[in-house]
Structure 1
Amino acid sequence: MKDVISIKDVTYRYIQDEEENTALNEVSLNIKEGEFLAIIGHNGSGKSTLSKLMNGILMPTSGDIKIFDLNTKDPENIWKIRQSAGMVFQNPDNQLVATIVEEDVAFGPENLGVSPKEIRQRVDWALDIVGMLDYKKQKPHQLSGGQKQRIAIAGILAMKPRCIILDEPTAMLDPSGRREVINTIKHLNKDEKMTIVHITHYMDEIVDADRVIVMEKGKIAMEGKPREIFSQVEKLTSLRLDVPQITELAFELSKEGIDIDSNILTVDEMVNQLWQSN
């Protein structure tokens, strides 16, 4: 599979209170087409800065970022990059621009100059994918937080991107809203074959990711499959990160001498392990 996003030796520095700070320090990373990549890290680790660099919102101080072979440093590429790599942020209220759901989803393709007939098809298609087609005549302010975020995702989908970058999209949602959005993300990746970059601090959201990147002090501290990453409970704790609750339980049971794998990720795996041990 080819690279969708190529990040090579990227450093990003910014000025705050007349002092220069380094948010990212010579980060290199390749993201494959169709991959579900998760990026985790505590506040200030550089993960959100990295997401904004991927979408051309920020420009690297040094190094290069290419989205589908388009360098973000070239101003002529930015519009194409943002069409190819859609961005979903924390607060859905900041992304909704219209007073009716279907009008909001149509906003992006209208700005791309898509024909009205094609827009109609895209709006219905996008709303159907996120499970919100029945709400197309609703007013966004009448929806729940999870529903609003799904509308925001539909608005990105209507522009037909090949990759979606989600910067802590569930941070402001209740557990029900989080489940709605995570199920949507999984559907986009598995069924629609879309490349997903999911930045979060909720570990249980990314147990199904293909790969996990752990950020710390502007660098990649760990990289691997979820099971490889979350089995290293003590190392994650030293990086001020949690692990999925079920993995933590397995780790504690293993420490107490109970014969159980310490790299369990799901409740079903825990049940099977306990069943087999009896």
Structure 2
Amino acid sequence: MAALFRTDLHLGVFDTVGQDIVNHCVNDIFVGGAEPLFFLDYLGLGSLVPSQVEQLVKGVATACKAANCALIGGETAQLPDLYRPGDFDIVGCIVGAVERDQIIDGSKIEVGDAVFGLKSSGLHTNGYTLARKVFKTDEDPSVLNAYYADLGSTLGEALLAIHRNYQRIVKPALKHIRGMAHITGGGFEGNIPRILPKGLAVRIDRSTWQVPPLFQLIQKAGHIDNAEMYQVFNMGVGLTIFTAPEHAKDIPRLIPEAFLFGTVIPDDGRGRVLLS
């Protein structure tokens, strides 16, 4: 989250990152079928700026309320010997619960299962180090205020789009879901294989969704090849859902925004996530 904080610092906006950390944690346990119960946060910083801390805590509280998750405490540590002026570190701890027979762990995923995607809202707290390097925001923070018609916003606003919480929209379809992957650091290849049983892989059809303008802008400005983009960023897909073929029609009915973008195949050694 340190690189994200740099962007917040340049723009003077801090409540979004408080929501980001909560939503990230909620999604991480929700892919296992768990409902969030309570959340705690840790904030480390070099010097205490009350207005900034107030915004951060407000963001955390807002996201916890939306997720029906209790914010039961936290800690703020002022450590000038560890953090440079203006630097922050935020850590979230979440506890959730799920009935044992309702755990979603991917163990039932089989060849032929359908894979659906749900759109991300932006970078989703990952890839900020590369994005900052591409746009040189540390050298010239004013670039964050540049308006891009394709984005429909300034660069800074697009970069700070709040990490989505998928809990509410996906919950109605849980009984039909065999596995879910929260696409965060490492992209598809870094997250999807975690839930795949041994011997299985996923083939993803890149023509099934449009990569959002923000990622296209980053790729063009940084002269980054496709392989690196898909290894670093979510490329517009923040959550993947696995379901049996007979329930493939139920997913878009229950989650209207879900789109079919892949299928489970045997692992033939070429990789566990194949992009075509």
TM over 0.5: no
- Determine which structure has greater relative contact order: mean sequence separation of CA pairs < 8 Å that are 6+ residues apart, divided by chain length: 2
The two structures have a TM-score, normalised by structure 2, of 0.27
